[in-house]
Amino acid sequence: MKTTMTTLFWVGEPDNDDNDYITNVCSYWDKDWQKNYGGVDDPKHRKGYFPAGFTPRENPFYVALPYGEFLKDGTLKRRLPTIVPWYSEWLTRKNRNVPLLKNRWVEITRGKRVCYAQWEDVGPFGENDFSWVFGSAPKPRNTYDMKAGLDVSPAVWDYLGMRDNGLTSWRFFNAAELPNGPWIEITTASCNNR
């Protein structure tokens, strides 16, 4: 488990001073993220763990970690075989258009609360922190504001009982071992749309 400052973000979050003017209308993997999700995942207007006003088409339990697998030209980064534990599994797939990192499950812990979510975006504030995400770096490279190493969705935020930015612990988790919970009501299986 890695412990880090954790911050809130959401599908459709506008760019403003709080997020260094980075919009979340699109994600690292999905240029139409808000549209494909079904709307804005507004943290202030909720119906349980779902956004009020619509049922999302993708999992409302999602996170962002500060690493992405592509170079600017769309090719895979060369270090991937040595740092991504499931790389060889991905190589054996017939359809390599399935992203290597997107939709992977993580377990997030805060106190006695444990939540599960899918990796759907890259951040906070970086996409090249492989030492933090996959290696043994004790903290993320992020030096902006709270120096967070994990962004979580409103559903994760609420499930963990967070009211402000704070420390959580996280690790990758095997989808076959997921316990029952609200995180499996709707799961995301969509591929990238870069």
Residue 54 belongs to domain with CATH number:
2.40.40.10
**Residue 189 included in any domain:** no
**Residue 41 included in any domain:** yes
**Residue 178 included in any domain:** yes
pLDDT value at residue 121: 96
**Residue 122 included in any domain:** yes
Tell me the residue range of the domain where 95 lies. 2-184
**Residue 194 included in any domain:** no
**Residue 126 included in any domain:** yes
**Residue 191 included in any domain:** no
pLDDT in tens, 9-47: 999 988 777 766 778 889 999 999 999 999 999 999 999
Sequence-distant (6+) residues with CB within 8 A of 85 are 134, 172
Q: pTM for the whole thing?
A: 0.93
**Count of domains observed in the chain:** 1
Q: Per the structure block, which two tokens stand in for 155?
A: 């559903």
Distance CA 142, CA 149 (A): 7
Most confident by average pLDDT, 92-101, 172-181, 185-194: 172-181
* Omega before 124 within 30 of 0, i.e. cis: yes
If you average pLDDT over every residue of the chain, what do you get?
A: 90
Q: Is 150 exposed, middle or buried (0-12, 13-18, 19+ CB in 10 A)?
A: buried
pLDDT in tens, 79-106: 776 778 887 777 766 655 678 899 999 9
pLDDT value at residue 88: 74
pLDDT value at residue 144: 82
**Residue 82 included in any domain:** yes
In sign, the C-alpha dihedral spanning 54, 56, 61, 67 is negative
- Own/partner pairs, 110-114, CB within 8 angstroms, 24+ separation: 110/6, 110/160, 110/161, 110/162, 110/166, 110/167, 110/168, 110/169, 111/161, 113/159, 113/160, 113/161
